[in-house]
Structure 1
C-alpha cells in the first residue's frame, strides 16, 4: 500500500462519515468526504482518490447512478469503488458489480473488515497498474525490436551491396540485443513480483477459507483460480518470445561474423543455418501458397578456414534467388497444384576428398534456360524487372567463392527441372595467397 493514499467517502449520514473517517485515518489513509453523488463525482475528478467508499441510498442520484457516471468518465473509470449498503438482495449486488464496483460492504460493517477490504483493493489496483505499465513498456520495446529486425531482414534481401552488408547486420543485431536483453532480464523480476502477490493471495485465502458471499461471487465471476494460473503462463510466454528474438539476433551475428573478419576456421553448417533463419519469413506459408520447405542433408564436415561473413553472404544470394524462382513459379500455379508439388530447397554438404568440401543448394523451381546459365555470373546481368535487382548478386557470389576462397561455383539446371548450385571450398588454404587475391579484388 502506498503511503497516505486518499480515500473518498460518500455518505449522506454525518455519523457514518465521522466513523468511517476516523477508522480510515487511524489506518494511515487520507480521507475526503462527500455527502451526495454529484459532489462525489466533482471531487473525484478534481482530487483523483485511490479508492471510493460509496453509499448506495442517497438523496439525488443514488450510489448506482454515481458509480455509472464515475466509470463512464475516462478520468475516474479506473478508481476502485466499494459499495456500502444495507441492501442484501442479490440483484442489487449484481447490479453494482455490473456497473463496475470492486466490492461490497454490508451495513452495519465491522471496522477491521472495512480496513482489510480497502487494503486488498488498493493492493490489487497497485499491482495491476505496475503490471500493466511493465507489460506496456515491454511490449513497446519488443515491438520496436521486432520492427528493427524485420527492417534489417528486408534490407538483407533487397540489398546486393555485399561489401557493406556484414557491417549493417552486425550493427543492427547489437542494437537490438541490448533492449531485448533488458526486457528478458526484467521479465524474471516480474515473475518474482507476480509470485509474491500470488503467495499473498494464497495466504489471504488460507486465513479466510470461507469468505463472505460477495467475495466468493466475485472470485467465481472472474475465475480467480484461472487468473492465478494464467498470469504465470503469460509471463512465461513473454520470456519465450524474448528468447526467440535473442536467438534471431544470434543468427544475425553469426551470419555477419564481423567479429571474425579474419581468415579462420568455422562451422559451415552454422553459417547455413543462420542464413536460413534470416530468410525464414520468406519461407513461411502465405495466403497464396504453402510454405517453402528447406531440407538439410548435412554431412560430417571439418571446420573450414574462410572469411565466414563473406561466405554467408554468398549462401544468402543463392538461397534468396532460389526463393525468388519458387515464388515466381507459384504465381502461375493454382493453390491445389502447389500443394501437390510444393516448393522445396535441399541443402547437401559433403567432403569431396581430402582437399575440399562441397555445398549443393537445389530447388525444384522452373529451372534456368541454358542461355541464361552462360551469363548468370556476369556483372549487371539480370532477368528480373527494373527495380527488382541490379545483377550484382551472383557476380559477387562468384567472386567470393572463386577469388577469395580459391573455390569453384557451378550451376546445373534444365528448364522445368529446378536448379542446383554447387560450391566447392578447399579445406586448407594458404592464408597469404588468399589475402593477396582478396586485396586484388578490392
Structure 2
C-alpha cells in the first residue's frame, strides 16, 4: 500500500452547498482528494463506485438523514470499516451517543473550526491507514506461513516414512529459503508499526493537550475502551511480535546451518560440530515436547572442548539427525512409565 494519508479520498455528505464549499476547500488545501454528495441516497450510490478512506456525514438532511445513512453503511460488508465522522449543529448528548452507537468514530460541530476539522480528519485517516496496512500484512503473512506449515507437515510425514536422509538437506534448505522472505517482511513491518504507533500516540497526546476538555461522552468512551491501557499496551504488543519474529529467524538460521546451503558439500570445510548438533536439536525440538502420546524429553548437553574440524557439514548433520532421531524413538518406547526422560549429548 503506497497511498499516503495526505492523498486520501474523503467523501463529504451535506445538503447545504455553503457547508460543502467550506469543507471541500479546507480539505483540498491540505492535499486530500475530496468527493461530495448532497444526500444520503446519493452518498450510498456514489460509494458503490469508489470507496473513500473517510466519510464526513451531516446528520440533518432531508430524506435519508445521517443516522440512517450511517446505519446502512455499517450493514454493508464493503463499507462497514470506513470511519464516519458526523457533522452536526446538535450538541445534545442524545444525538452524540446515538451517532457513536451507530458506529461513528467522531463528530464535528457546526459552525466548523478549521483546526478542529483538520485535527480530527488527520487522526482518523492515520488510524484507518494503520488498520488497513496491519490487516493486509497479517492476512498476507498468515497465508504464507500457513502454506509453509502445510508443506512442513507434508514433508514431515514423508521423511518419517523414508530413510533417504540425503533429501533432508535440500528440503530444509528450501523451507529455510521460503521462511526468510515472509519472516523478514514481518520483522520489517513490526519496525514500521512501532513507528506508526509512536506517532499516533504522540498525535493523540497533542490532541489531548490542545483539546483537554472533550464532552463527557468522549471521556466515557475512552474509559470504556480503557484508552490509557491500550496506549500503554500497544508498544508491548509490538515488542512481543518482534521477539517472536526473532525466534523464527533463529530457527530459520538453524535450518540453513543444518542444510549448509551456503557451502558445497562436495568439498571439505572447517566446521564446528557443536553448531551442527545445536541446529539438529532445534529442528527436532518438537519431538522433545510432551503430548498425549509421549512424555517430555530433557536434553542435557555435556559438551567437551572440540576444535574446528575438516568435514562435510551436510553429511555430518545427517549423521546427527539419524543418531538423535533414533535416540528419541528408543526413549519414547521405554519411557511410558516415567515422569520424564533425559537425552545426554
TM-score by length of 1: 0.66
Report the Cα offset of residue 317 of structure 1: 1.9
Contact kept, 8 Å, 1:298 with 1:347, in 2: the verdict is: no
Name the structure 2 match of 1:298.
303
1:242 aligns with 2:239: no
d(CA) in 1 for partners of 2:214, 2:174: 57
Which residue of 2 is the match for residue 115 of structure 1? 118
RMSD of aligned Cα (Å) = 3.2
The answer for the alignment partner of 2:78 in structure 1 is 75
Match of 2:202 in 1: 199
Aligned-pair distance for 1:78?
Answer: 2.0
1:282 is aligned to: 287
Shift of 1:260: 6.2
2:314 counterpart of 1:317 = no
Aligned pairs for 1:341-420 (under 5 A) are 341-348=338-345
Q: Distance in 1 between matches of 2:79 and 2:227?
A: 25
User: Distance between the aligned counterparts of 1:190 and 1:137, measured in 2?
Assistant: 16
Query: Do 2:70 and 2:104's aligned partners in 1 also have CA atoms closer than 8 Å?
Result: yes
Partner of residue 183, structure 2 = 180
Tell me, what secondary structure is at the counterpart of 1:294? strand
Q: Which 5+ residue runs of structure 1 have no aligned equivalent?
A: 349-442
Quick one: distance in 1 between partners of 2:29 and 2:182? 45
Query: Taking CA–CA contacts closer than 8 Å with sequence separation of 6 or more, which of the two structures ends up with the larger relative contact order?
Result: 2
Instruction: Give the 3 Å change call, closer, same or farther, for CA 72–255 of structure 1 in structure 2.
Output: same
Counterparts of 1:89 and 1:77, CA distance in 2: 25
Q: Equivalent residue for 2:131? A: 128
Scaled by the length of structure 2, the TM-score of the pair is 0.82
Q: Which of residues 44, 49, 57 is equivalent to 1:54?
A: 57
Gaps of 5+ in 2: none
Return the offset for 1:143.
4.0
* Matching of residues 213-232 of structure 1 within 5 Å: 213=216, 215-232=218-235
Do 2:255 and 2:283's aligned partners in 1 also have CA atoms closer than 8 Å? yes
CA distance, structure 2, for counterparts of residue 21 and residue 305 of structure 1: 73
Structure 2 CA distance for partners of 1:314 and 1:157, relative to 1, 3 Å: farther
1:158 & 1:303 partners in 2: Cα distance?
34
Per residue, is there more helix in 1 or in 2? 2
CA distance in 2, matches of 1:303, 1:6: 62
Distance 1:20 1:324, change over 3 A: same
> For 2:155 and 2:145, how far apart are their aligned partners in 1?
15
| Cα pair 2:166 2:318 within 8 Å, conserved | no
SS at match of 1:246: helix
1:146-185 aligned at under 5 Å gives the runs 146-149=149-152, 154-185=157-188
Instruction: Give 2:274's aligned residue.
Output: 269
What secondary structure, in the 3-state scheme, does the structure 2 residue paired with 1:269 have?
Answer: helix
